[in-house]
Amino acid sequence: MEGTAILNTDRPEDTSFVGEIDQTRISLPPEGMESMDRDLYFSDKDDYVPSIARLLRKLEIDEKRIEAFEKIFTPIYASQLSKLFPTLDCVNLYLRGLNQSLPSLKEEVYLPDFLILETFRTFYPNVYKDVFVYPWMYLPAWGEAAFFSFPYEFTTRDDRTYLLIKEHIEMLCDNEENPEVLCQLLQVVFFEVRKGFFKTNIGDDASEREYLRQKRLSHPDIFWKYFTLSVPAREAPEQVVESFINSCRRLGQDECGEDGDSHLSGGRNRKQLSELWQKSPMFMPRMTRETTVVLIECLYQNMHLFRREGADIFHDPESLAAIRLLFDLIDNKLHSDEMEVVLSDLVQKTPSFELAVRVVDNVRSRMRDLFNIPRQGNFYALSSQLDERLTAHFIEGRRNIFNEEKNYGYMLAQWVTYKPQNNLKVNAYVFELVKEDPTAIEKVLGVYTNHHEDKTGIRIRWEDLAKIYDVHKLYELASQCLDSSYFNRDERTAVELFMSQFEARTEAAALEMTQQANKQKFMHASSQGIQLFRGGQYELALEEFNRTLDITDWNDEVHLVRFVQLQKWHTLLELGLKSEGEVRTQFHSGAQRIASDDGEIRDLFNAAFPKGAAHAVQELYCCIFYYLQWEAASAVEKRSVKKDFDAHFSLATAKRTFGRTEEITKRCSELLVLLRQ
C-alpha cells in the first residue's frame, strides 16, 4: 500500500491546476496538420516525432520501455483514445496535464495505464473522481489494501457483485460524452470492470504478482501511487503536517494533547484530514518510536471521529487514509515484540468497535501480502479481549448495537466466532433486542437479504443467516412480532418474506428427509434382492424386488428403479426357466409386462446401465426370454421367434462381445439344443 500518496479527488476542478498548466511550455506542431493523431502519437515517413514520444524521451525513459509501451498503447489509441482528440486544443490540454503529472511518477507507474488515466482526469473529471472514491468498483479484492479499504460485501466476488459493477459503470458512462469509448477504456484499464460485462478469467489470483510487478493501476497496492503528488486547493500544507508530527513527538503516550487536537479540529473544519494522514508517511523516517506510539494511539483513539455523519469508517476516504497510516506505522515503525502489545491496546481502547473487529478479523485471516501484523498478533488473545469489551458494552451495558453501529451485521457475524459459546450468547442478546423492539428483526434479516431486479426477486442468504442465528427461534419471534403496529410496510414485507421462505424451506426439508429415508429403504431392499438373486434364491429375490419397487416418493436421480426392474426381469426369466407348464407361462408373462420385445429390452438395459455394462449377460437373458416365448408360441410363430433367439445367441457367444464367459456360452448352447429337439 502506498502510504505516501497525496490523494486528490478534486484535481479536475482546481483553479490552481489551470495556472500551472499555463506556465508549462509544450512544443506542439503548427495548426493545419492533416491529423491530430500525427501530432499527438503517430509518427510518419517525414520522421516527425509526435508529442507523447518527445515527452517520454525528454523524461529519459528507457527505449526498451518505450517500445513495450508503444506495442501496448498503439492499438488502444487507434481504436478508442484517438476519438477523444478532435481538435488541437484537446491535444494541448491533455499534454500540458501529462507534463505536470508524469515526471514525478514515471518510474512508479505502468505507462499505458497512466496515460489512459490522464485522459479521465482531463476529459472525464467525474469519472476520475469516481475511480478514486469507489475503488472497489474497479479493483480486485487483493491483499491488505483491499481488505481494509473495500466494503465488506466487495471483499468477495460473485455474479451479483459484477452486476453491481456493470450497473455502476453504465450509469457513470451514460452521463458523459462518447460513453462507448469511455466504457471501453475503463474495461481496458480495469479487468474487474471487464468482468462486469463479459465472463472472463483475466486477472485471476495467479496474476496478482505479475500485476504488482508491472505496477498496474488495477492492483490495489499500486493504485494509490497513480494519484500521488496532485496538488489540490484544499491540500494540507506540508508545514501543517510537520507541525502535527512534531506535536506528537513532544507529547507523552496518554494523549495527543491540545496541540494535536487543534490540528485535528482545524483539519476537519477545512476538510484536510485525508491529506494530513496521506502526507504523514513522508515524515515517517524521522519519527522516533515514542512519536510513532503517540501517533498510533491518536489515530485509533479518534478513529470514530474521522467520518462523515452516517457513514461507516470503511466507506469514508478520511477514515481510509487514517487506517492506512495506522497500519503503516504499526508495520514499519514497531519492532515485532511490540506489535502484540500495541494491537492489544488498540482492541481494548479504541472507541471504534468496528475498527477493533476488523483488526481481529485481519489477524485471523493471516494475510501476509503487505503487513507483518497477522504474524505478530495473537488472534485468540485479541478475540478474547474484544469479546469481553463487546459483552460488557452491549450485553451487560444493555446497549442496542443496531442503533450504535452502522455495520452491525458484519460485527455480529464476527462476534459469534470468538468463543465456542458465543453463538448462544449473541443469539440471546439479539433476540432480546427484537422482543424489546420488534422492528429490529428487519435489521437482522436485512443483512442477509438480496434484492434482485430480475425474476429471482428478493432472496435471503439462508446459509449465511443460519451460521449466525437459530432460524427456528427467529421464525418464532417473527410470528410473534408480525402483528406489531410498529412495522411499516417495508418492514412487514421483509418479515412476511422471511416467514414464507422459512415455511417453504421447512416443508422442503421435511420432504427431503422423507425422500432420503425412502431412498435408504429402497437401496437396502434392492441390495437384499440382488444378494438373494446371486445365491440362486429366485423366489425370495422376486419378493424383495417387488417390495423394493413398492417404495416410492424419493428422488431417483440415477435411474435405480429401472435397474431394479431389469433385475426383476432377469429373476422372472430364471424362475420361468426352472418352472414348467402354467407356472412357467405366468413368469414369462410377468417378464413381458416389463419388456416384451427387442426395443423395450434395449431401452430397459440402457436406462439401467447408461454408461454401459457387460452385453453378453444381457444377450443371455434375451436368449432365455425368446426360448420361453418359443415354447409358448404356436407352430406358425415358432420360426419367427427362433430367428430372434438365433440373433441373440450369436451375440452372446461371439468372442468380441464384452463380458462373454464360458458359463454364458454353455447356458446359451443348452437352450439352443432344447430348441432343436
- Give 552-615 as a DSSP string: -SS--TT-HHHHHHHHHHHHHHHHHHH--HHHHHHHHHHHHHH--SHHHHHHHHHHH-TT---H
HEC profile for 478-498? HHHHCCCCCCCHHHHHHHHHH
- Between 11 and 649, residue with greater pLDDT: 649
Read off the pLDDT band of 628 (50, 70, 90): very high
Q: Which of 181-190, 245-254, 334-343, 452-461 has the lowest mean pLDDT?
A: 245-254
* Torsion sign over Cα 292, 296, 297, 302: positive
What are the percentages of helix, strand and coil residues in the chain, rounded to 5?
70, 0, 30
Sequence-distant (≥ 6) Cβ neighbours of residue 362 within 8 angstroms: 144, 147, 148, 373, 374
Q: What is the mean pLDDT of the chain?
A: 79
Q: Which of 388-392, 539-543, 606-610 has the lowest mean pLDDT?
A: 606-610
Angle between helices 336-349 and 379-390 (to 10 degrees): 10
Question: What is the largest distance, in Å, between two alpha-carbon atoms of the chain?
Answer: 119
Does residue 260 carry a pLDDT above 50?
no
- Between 443 and 205, residue with greater pLDDT: 443
Best-predicted range by mean pLDDT (20-29, 289-298, 617-626): 617-626
Does residue 387 carry a pLDDT above 90?
yes
- Between 315 and 89, residue with greater pLDDT: 89
C-beta separation of 131 from 217 below 8 A: no
Mean pLDDT of 451-478: 78
Distance from C-alpha of 414 to C-alpha of 252, rounded to nearest angstrom: 34
For residue 295, the model assigns a pLDDT of 82
C-beta separation of 192 from 220 below 8 A: no
* Torsion sign over Cα 540, 541, 543, 544: positive
Mean pLDDT of 191-200: 86
Mean pLDDT of 130-151: 77
Distance from C-alpha of 584 to C-alpha of 580, rounded to nearest angstrom: 5
Does residue 20 carry a pLDDT above 50?
no
Distance in Å from the first CA to the final CA of the chain: 94
634 CB burial (10 A radius; 0-12, 13-18, 19+): exposed
Mean pLDDT of 371-389: 75
Set of cell numbers at residue 378: 495473537
- Between 485 and 359, residue with greater pLDDT: 359
pTM of the model: 0.50
